[in-house]
Structure 1
Amino acid sequence: MLPWSAELAGRLEEHIVSSELLRDNPLKDPHERPLLVYVPPGYDDEPGRRYPTVYVITGFTGHVGIWRNRVPYRQPFPETADAVFASGEAPPAIVVFVDAWTAHGGSQYVDSPGTGRYHSYICDEIVPWVDGHYRTLDAPEHRAISGKSSGGYGAMITPMLRPDLFGALATHAGDALFEYCYLPEFPKCVRHLRAYGGDIWRWWEDFNGRASFTKPEDMDLLNVLGMAVCYSARPDGKPELPFDTVTGVLREDVWERWLAWDPVRMVPEYAEAMRSQRAIWIDGGTRDEWFLDVGAQAFRQALLDAGVNENAIHFELFDAAHGGIDYRYPLALGWLCRNIAP
């Protein structure tokens, strides 16, 4: 395995997609976005053949360029995905790497007055664009979505909201059971904000005026601000934090708006959509710093309580923390492809 490159049996194609839904978004982020599309080996040999698709979305602070990152002794996901198809481990599929980055770190793949219409961008622009440019099987039973962390969160909620588009998902350590993954971070942020007079925008100005992540509070405050701008932005786009930044007292009305987006709590409302899914992969590390293994267990149980067929669910906990679990992605990819193949 060379540390700098690898030959693909398939092909990774680069595109720029102009989004009308993201044009003039609240954060003035680009409305033209990169899109990577992987086509499997043999795609050009059978011009009449159509393929299932798997959409891949990134975690918080991620953008489509991270899929090219190489870490020591591991291959990037496009290469490990290619190996899944080249080996015949799974039926061939088109894999779509979507960019939904924002200036505050991410979109959580929701429509928000604070960030823009990223859920609609994926569902109403990217999916039709891919179907129009590639030989896809244009039906939910042949379309899946996959991601890790915030990407895993997006993979959980997108099929709930749009079962007419997505019929399978894989969530790796996806954000769930918010009282465990988010709430414990709030008192840390209160402590951090003492240095900024309780004003998160003073921190934001400081953060943007220096090298990022050079202060210990940066990731904690970026995360809570990034979530607030997605889950609890006012109609004018200004995010409201779910706690008082000086006393730490929970602002119950704002916190309830966050909880309304918790996948565990969303399942009962969207039970029919989840029962329609052909395949649901759920996993997480047993040492996850945000207790997303616990969230994974709760999500699985919520699905079972909603009447989802247990045979449609692959659930697995494994020895790991939150990071370094990219080796799980091709495992889920192969399993998804076997379940969404025609």
Structure 2
Amino acid sequence: MKTLLLLLLTLLSSPGLRAQTSPAPAGRVVVTYLDSKLLRGNPGGENPRRRVSVYLPAGYEANPAKRYPVLYYLHGFTWNDSLIFNQDGMKPLLDQAIAEGKIRPLIVVVPNEQTRFGGSWYVNSATNGPWADFTARELVAFVDKQFRTLARPGSRGLAGHSMGGGGTVRLALAYPGTWAAAYALSPALLGPHPSYLPGPGLPVALRAHSAAEVLHSHPALSTVSASRAFSPNPQAQPFGADLPGSLGADSLVRREAVLARWVLATPAYVLPTRPAALRQLRALAFDWGAQDEVKHIPPACRNFSSLLTVFGIPHTAEEYEGTHGSRIMGHEGRMFQHVLPFFDKHLDFKP
């Protein structure tokens, strides 16, 4: 009897007799380009020809009459659409999420908004060009024309991480009625905080005489990028922006008027003038890691959640154990376990 049991166990454990897990049906990523009329001729020298990576779910080609909702995903500072798919693994994550029923088949659009100095911050700028209009208007119209979308606000979602998380909240405030729901992951610059006002990169940026001198310093790059977004001045050299400080004989002097422009551009200061914009969303959510290395994010998120409550805006805000990017992608990450189910619940999938 023991010999028979051992034989049965051996047979059941052999590779040929194990239950095989079928791979998730594979979607595909289409890389296309949008020649932006809005960004053309911007004073900051940003390329108006923008790459856009688009995830099309399995079955897209086989069902030519079917239309899909769209999730617009905004990448972070110094990141881009290609890295989202090829390094962060967005495509297999979407394939698996659809296969497991976390979300029904949909289109996911990631625009490349990496700029000469790391990122657009998804705002309109006199130096960089109108990136907010590009994202909310030109990109949406382009996608609806090029792909089989359910071209209506109820079938559009907006999400992003870090710079893209902050951009998600900014765009939801600035363009009500464009998206049904918004989810911001570790959103940057939601409100003012001493850690970035004016920030550790300012001295390097102030001493620089050319763009090349800040490209290898992440803090300086961040300062220049934010300055071009929030305190643009196309005539100011060498960056086309007013920097939030100046160098004295032996000290750094804050430029309060410039810093005030940064503060007034944050969602925390915009919200009181536009609360109705966020009320138009079916759902708003954001989350952040308690151990985020970007020090302003946890307190700014908590403060923004309190402000939303004051204005009676329904939302979900969650702090979890994690760093800035430790639990975003992957099967156990926030994107798979929280973001995609959120949009499955709040977007219209039927014509």
- TM-score of the aligned structures, taking structure 1 as reference length: 0.85
- Map 1:1-342 to 2 at 5 A: 9-70=26-87, 76-175=89-188, 176-183=190-197, 186=199, 188-189=200-201, 192-193=203-204, 198-201=206-209, 204-207=211-214, 212=216, 218-234=217-233, 236=235, 238-246=240-248, 247-289=251-293, 290-309=295-314, 313-326=315-328, 327-330=333-336, 331-342=338-349
- Cα distance in 2 between the residues matched to 1:282 and 1:181: 21
> Using a 3 Å threshold, how does the CA distance of structure 1 residues 77 and 335 change in structure 2: closer, same or farther?
same
- The list of structure 1 runs, each at least 4 consecutive aligned residues, that deviate by more than 6 angstroms after superposition, is none
Cα displacement string for residues 61-88 of structure 1 (whole angstroms, at most 9, x for unaligned residues): 1122112343xxxx61222122111222
- TM-score of the aligned structures, taking structure 2 as reference length: 0.83
- Cα distance in 1 between the residues matched to 2:49 and 2:212: 26
Question: For the aligned residues, what is the CA RMSD?
Answer: 2.1
- Superposition deviation, residue 167 in structure 1: 2.3
- Superposition deviation, residue 113 in structure 1: 1.3
> Using a 3 Å threshold, how does the CA distance of structure 1 residues 59 and 41 change in structure 2: closer, same or farther?
same
Cα displacement string for residues 114-135 of structure 1 (whole angstroms, at most 9, x for unaligned residues): 2111111112211001111222
> Using a 3 Å threshold, how does the CA distance of structure 1 residues 200 and 7 change in structure 2: closer, same or farther?
farther
> Using a 3 Å threshold, how does the CA distance of structure 1 residues 318 and 165 change in structure 2: closer, same or farther?
same
- Cα distance in 1 between the residues matched to 2:57 and 2:86: 21
Larger Rg: 2
Task: Report which stretch shifted further, 11-20 or 94-103.
Answer: 11-20
Contact (CA 8 Å) 1:27, 1:102: kept in 2 or not? no
> Using a 3 Å threshold, how does the CA distance of structure 1 residues 325 and 252 change in structure 2: closer, same or farther?
same
Cα displacement string for residues 292-338 of structure 1 (whole angstroms, at most 9, x for unaligned residues): 122211222222222212xxx23211111213332222231221232
- Cα distance in 1 between the residues matched to 2:56 and 2:140: 15
> Using a 3 Å threshold, how does the CA distance of structure 1 residues 83 and 241 change in structure 2: closer, same or farther?
same
Gaps of 5+ in 1: 1-5, 213-217
- Cα distance in 2 between the residues matched to 1:111 and 1:244: 25
- Cα distance in 2 between the residues matched to 1:104 and 1:139: 34
The DSSP-based 3-state class of the residue aligned with 2:342 is helix
Contact (CA 8 Å) 2:177, 2:280: kept in 1 or not? no
Cα displacement string for residues 169-222 of structure 1 (whole angstroms, at most 9, x for unaligned residues): 111111122224512x63x335x53xx8x42335x43345xxx3xxxxx11111
The DSSP-based 3-state class of the residue aligned with 1:179 is coil
Aligned residues, how many?
A: 315
- Cα distance in 2 between the residues matched to 1:178 and 1:58: 21
Task: Report which stretch shifted further, 51-60 or 325-334.
Answer: 325-334
State percent identity of aligned pairs.
Answer: 27
